[in-house]
Structure formats: C-alpha cells, structure tokens
Amino acid sequence: MISFKLLVLRVLFTLLFVELVLTLVTDEEWARYKARHKKRYGQEDRYHRWLYEKRVQAVANHNKLYSQGRSGFRMGLNKFSDTNLRPLYSRRTAIPAPPEPSTEEVTKSANYKSYDQITGGIDWRQYGYISAVGDQGTECLSCWAFSTSGVLEAHLAKKYGKLVPLSPKHLVDCVPPPNQGCNAGWVSVAFNYTRDYGIATKEFYPYKRKNEECRWDPRDSAGTLWGYVTLTSNNERELAEVVYNIGPVAVSIDHLHEEFDQYFGGILRIHSCGNTKSDLKHSVLLVGFGTHPKWGDYWIIKNSYGTEWGESGYFKLARNANNMCGVATLPQYPLV
C-alpha cells in the first residue's frame, strides 16, 4: 500500500504540475506577444521566451496574493516581460554621481503649509501642468532627460499659466559629460546645461531613441532656469511639503526589480529595494501624493515607459515607508 506521506507528495506534485501547465506559454501566445511589441529574435528566441514564461508565472503568483488582499498592487505582462534590464542599467554605475551642493534653499511663501498642516494630498496633473507620458524606449537610458524636461515644463507652466512640452531629446544630444545621452545621466547635470543654454520644445526637437549630433541654437530656447534645489536626503516630510507647496520634483529610484518591471496598478512596495545614492538607477517625476484607506500613504509618480505600463504610465509608490526605493534620497526641482 502507498504510504500516507507518499500520497501527500504525489498530490502536491500533481497540483504543482497543473499550476505550471496552466501558465505554460503556447507557441501562439508567444508569437502574439512578440507581434504586439514588435520584437524579433534569432538564436536568442528561446532565452527570451524562457524569461517571458518566468514572468507569466511570477505575475500569476503575485496576483493571487493581490486577489487575497495580501498585496496592495497588481502585476501584469508588458513589453519588459521577456527582457532582463539589469545588464542595460549597469551602464549607469559607470557614470559617477556628481556632487550635489545645496546651493539654494527652499523658499517658503507666507502661505507655505508645514507637513502637519497638510490635509489630504495633491495631484498636479489636475492643474494642467503635466505633459503626456513619454516612452524612452528599452534601448535608450534617457530617463534623466525625461524627468528633467518634465519637472522644468511643470514649473514653467505653474509660473506662466501655460504648459509647453519640452524636449528630452535635446538634452540627450547636447548635455555634456558626465552625462552620456542614451547611456544614462544625472538630472543636476542637465539642470546646469539648461541654465546656460536653455531647452527646446518637444515639437522643435522631437524624440528619437538614439544618440545624435547636437543641433541646437540657444536663441531658439523655450525656457530656462536660474538654479535648482536639492532637498534633504531621506526626508519624506520635507519632500511632501515641497511637492504640496511648490510643485513637482524630479527623483531617482532603485527600480531594478521584477515587481517594478511588471507593475500594473496599486501602491507599490518592494521590500528588497535599496535607498542609497548608489542604488539609484532610474529618474522619474513626482507629481503628487495621497493616502489609501487600507494600504496607507503613497507618492504619485510619472514614468517614461509609455502609457501601456502601470497606471497609464504612472505608478504609486509607498510613502513614509522608510524611503521606499530611495524616492527621497535625491529629490530636486528647478528655480524658474
């Protein structure tokens, strides 16, 4: 007779096998995925399919937790589901972070509210200061240019009452070293360039996912800044005050995690996230914050992965959660 222990093992194996079969990717599904995202592979096809199958399983496992109320965010399949972004973003580590002297301080107006005076939250998208979500492309590490142009256009729109989308491509092509165009860069370096040379509109200098020769005449500038503020590191209360009272802030995060790649909606928490300056690999635009009745405080952040990623190109990140993913490690905004 079969022992009870052996019977239990067989049942568990059967359940595991059934679960794997249910998430197995068919040839037709793999072909549809590649067609949708315009991907073509030769000898590497099996490798990318293997990555995709792993992501299919990971998404299914995580969303089971979400449906049980054990996680506050959902995951989904997207254009990153068959790609390992880690080798690509390792280029960022080759560009040392520039020093960030606090040459300017936060200017507080007469009606500036302290953190304890703020009730609710804010979402600067509702004021018409935030442009449409862009797509940097998987082959170009230009997130720094998108966050720089995004925060600058928001503050110019707030000051002058008109939103004029600015050009990340201008910054990719023209900002000098240590920034390296599609091979990554830092927001503060782009701020300094824009202070000296201005910036083009998105219409005048449209985006392409590659490095090209700089073709810029400062006489065509659509805007500039006279300085920038680097906030106190790891101070989420100060960061919230500035976002509420002054406007959007460019921040950098540790994003090299499967939960971020496959994020689909909700309040993101990644317990393995780093929050030191050396962990920061991706620049984004913080446009607001709020509080969920169950999952707590969160930041509202604009990404540059296109509108099919996340919540129409945005994500919510846990706030007041020990500086989740380094969101408060290097916050900066321009003075216009």
Options 48, 62, 140, 143, the catalytic residue? 143
Query: Of residues 273, 275, 282, 323, which has the active-site annotation?
Result: 282
Residue 292's beta-bridge partner residues? 296
**Among 78, 275, 303, 323, the one annotated catalytic:** 303
3-class secondary-structure state, position 237: helix
| DSSP-assigned letter for residue 232 | P
Three-state secondary-structure class, residue 314: strand
Active site residue 271: no
282 labelled catalytic: yes
Q: How far apart are CA 282 and CA 315, in angstroms?
A: 14
Phi-psi group of 323: left, alpha or beta (phi > 0 → left; psi -120 to 50 → alpha; rest → beta): left
Beta strand segments in the chain, E: 73-75, 122-123, 227-230, 249-253, 263-268, 282-292, 296-302, 314-318, 332-335
Q: Which residue do the tokens 């700089």 mark?
A: 214
The string over 274-299, giving b where at least 16 C-beta atoms fall within 10 Å of a residue's C-beta and e elsewhere, is bbeeebbbbbbbbbbbeeeeebebbb
DSSP letters spanning 137-197:
-TT-B-HHHHHHHHHHHHHHHHHHS----B-HHHHHHHPPTT--TTB---HHHHHHHHHHH
d(CA 309, CA 136): 12
Beta carbons within 8 Å of 56's beta carbon, 6+ residues apart: 23, 25, 77, 81
Whole-angstrom Cα distance, residue 303 to residue 31? Answer: 28
Active site residue 143: yes
**Which residues carry out catalysis?**
143, 282, 303
